[in-house]
């Protein structure tokens, strides 16, 4: 059902945890399946210096959270905003159709964290 890459990210998630004093935080959820995901970002010179996550959900939700952190780390904010739901799923070698909503959460969570950062930055100016 799951690719080896999905299972690897589920069993050994990358960048799991919280970033104290994160520059941006995005929390998204899916009330249908109960998955809840929070993405934390640290920004330096308009680049994502660090990206971490905390996820409550199924194996696919954990794997997509892990993958989004790897895809986003080191990217500029503009580059990270262009990471799509499909990019997350493709990077994991695909997801079963019934689990595609999990990749939606990962991309949406990252985008929400970046938007949170930009709102905070704007408020300071």
Q: Which of 16, 25, 33, 81 is catalytic?
A: 33
Angstrom distance (rounded) from CA 52 to CA 33: 22
33 is catalytic: yes
Angstrom distance (rounded) from CA 46 to CA 56: 29
Virtual CA dihedral for 78, 80, 85, 87, nearest 10 degrees? 110
DSSP 3-state of 22: coil
| Strand 47-56 with 35-44, pairing | antiparallel
Angstrom distance (rounded) from CA 23 to CA 70: 18
Q: Which of 48, 62, 68, 102 is catalytic?
A: 102
58 is catalytic: no
Q: Annotated active-site positions, please? A: 33, 102
């Amino acid at each position: 059902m799951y690719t080896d890459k999905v299972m690897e990210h589920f069993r050994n998630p990358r960048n799991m945890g919280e970033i104290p004093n994160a520059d941006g935080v995005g929390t998204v959820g899916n009330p249908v399946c109960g998955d809840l995901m929070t993405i934390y970002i640290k920004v330096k010179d308009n680049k994502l210096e660090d990206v971490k996550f905390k996820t409550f959900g199924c194996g696919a939700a954990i794997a997509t959270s892990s993958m989004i952190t790897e895809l986003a780390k080191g990217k500029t904010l503009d580059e990270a905003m262009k990471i799509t739901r499909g990019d997350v799923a493709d990077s994991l070698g695909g997801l079963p159709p019934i689990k595609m909503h999990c990749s939606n959460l990962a991309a949406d969570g990252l985008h929400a964290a970046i938007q949170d950062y930009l709102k905070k930055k704007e408020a300071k100016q």
